[in-house]
Structure 1
């Protein structure tokens, strides 16, 4: 990404943070006036950004917070977001995160519609960022994961198990292209996956963990009886957190993904560019297996502001031994954070990263990357 475009992105980010701070402050004030216990009911902020394939991005996000079932419990939240671009692209998100039965049933759901533009750089670990096939994608997707520890001994309260599913309809159309990159052969539209997830969670807070450990194993099987393709996806996610000094904490993470079978190219293993390996396009490098490592220092500054410094590495391969032999993609960067709900330790973030020490990227999102 050229430097002048990054400067424009930073300018948008400054406006976004300042305006979002006012909206979040307004939400706090409203809650104080209407609730005796000062519980914050909502937070809202604008979305402004810029990318080469979308032009100017604009929109808004609203976050609703519901009182925990008991003192010290976790708050159910619902995120609403609408994002449009000057290139007539649109994305609409509804994401509930719920805690029931005194936090013994937890889950996250998402309903997404997007009409977006992306690039396909081929399959493998060595994409050429200057040679990508542009395609238009229209997707309607519903997904949910619900976990519980009901039935387990009290000493196992950190362990959870549950079901997961993903249902989506995706229509992809490639634009005219004059290079040598072959178009992936897939016309699959309906994808229906059903599976399970196992988790272990000792974090002190799911939004900003200062100490603890989190791990999950997720397995989804996509059926050609319920959709247009048959394949499986597995994911192992490991994260650790510790408090250091001077309101500074450290987070480290490792993510391994595997996709096998008749996998559509847009569902192969790879970074999402927002949470895992920030600053690259979605699935910039992709394959049957992907490994991503992350480390980040997080520090509370003053008022609602916080800052981060991070390092990330990632690579992909056809199988495990091939994955181990591949070279690492690397990224270093820093970011600023704005507290949207201090009671929930919920922050919005903007991260600037230097990918492979060659190109710059910017990521704006809600909640920490991992």
Structure 2
């Protein structure tokens, strides 16, 4: 990693502190973030993140938004993503959607907790993905929620010649599934949480009756947030994942490299089970600028007993935050991490990591 640059353009809300009763003409309609970066995985990477904000049907309601991400690299990688969020019934129902196309070159480091960063085999992945998640608090106290999620994906994977000879099955074809979630959620804001808790259990079931493969994945997500001052927040997270059945190698339990254990390729260490722990200090500085410092640990294993015995991967890092919509406390971030105190990683995304 050597470079990342970004900037934001907005039609309103330029002040550092958003006003509670901003006039109608101050409503911010969009933000645009151009990005230039370099990593060993992508080489030079160029892209843009854009957000379109829609006026809420209620005066104090959450603002619906439509996100568009497009980026490519000099390594021949391309990703296009459309991501809408919408809220209904006094914000007691939220709807998230995803439409993504990916033509990507990535590295396969083998299965398990002990990869060698210098030993890998590249694979080409073309993926078209659709997903939607509906969360609701209707009929329950405001801190409890339930929901359903639908995942539909067609993937083509081809391995290149490389240093790893024991390659998994590509699992090209349809991976279609449906799942549910239950949770306790007392967060005051999902974009920049200053205080609250999240406890969420989720299961997804994939079937060869819906697609080409049968497997299931589940996760337990625990988070705690606390305010040290008006502009300083601490966040602590714990994630346990499990995958069972005829699981595609790129859907095993492990880090995603963007939100959970940042700065590594997706599933740099992955297996049937994984656990990831995170701690972060977030600081708003001035205008649209902020920063954070974080520590992350993670490991994977085929069985729970193996997961417990395996060594931790560790990472420390820092990131820059750029306000896209201050009234909604929505920030873009660029993170630099020192993975296993051995190599550097870079990630960027809209919203906080967790």
Q: TM-score, normalised by structure 1?
A: 0.90
CA distance in 2, matches of 1:298, 1:315: 25
Q: CA deviation at 1:198?
A: 1.1
The alpha-carbon distance between structure 1 residues 328 and 73, as it changes in their structure 2 partners (threshold 3 A), is same
Give the conservation status (yes or no) of the 8 Å contact 1:27–1:44: no
Question: In the alignment, what sits opposite 1:234?
Answer: 218
Question: In the alignment, what sits opposite 2:127?
Answer: 139
SS at match of 2:178: strand
Give the conservation status (yes or no) of the 8 Å contact 2:158–2:170: no
Give the conservation status (yes or no) of the 8 Å contact 2:109–2:164: no
Question: In the alignment, what sits opposite 2:279?
Answer: 295
Structure showing the higher helix proportion among its residues: 1
CA distance in 2, matches of 1:252, 1:278: 15
Q: TM-score, normalised by structure 2?
A: 0.94
- Aligned ranges 1:113-262 → 2 under 5 Å: 113-152=101-140, 156-177=141-162, 179-245=163-229, 247-262=231-246
CA distance in 2, matches of 1:245, 1:117: 43
Q: CA deviation at 1:180?
A: 4.2
Give the conservation status (yes or no) of the 8 Å contact 1:27–1:43: no
Q: Which stretch of the first structure deviates more once superposed, 237-246 or 282-291?
A: 237-246
- Aligned ranges 1:328-343 → 2 under 5 Å: 328-343=312-327
CA distance in 2, matches of 1:144, 1:137: 22
Q: CA deviation at 1:37?
A: 4.2
Q: Name the count of aligned residue pairs.
A: 346
Which ranges of structure 2 fall in alignment gaps of 5 or more residues?
15-22
Q: CA deviation at 1:165?
A: 1.1
Structure 1 residue ranges (4+ consecutive) displaced by more than 3 angstroms after TM superposition: 26-29
Q: Does 1:106 align with 2:107?
A: no
Which ranges of structure 1 fall in alignment gaps of 5 or more residues?
1-5, 30-34
Give the conservation status (yes or no) of the 8 Å contact 1:238–1:254: yes
SS at match of 2:134: strand
SS at match of 1:324: helix
CA distance in 2, matches of 1:369, 1:109: 19
Question: In the alignment, what sits opposite 1:3?
Answer: none
Q: CA RMSD in A?
A: 1.4
SS at match of 1:362: strand
SS at match of 2:308: helix
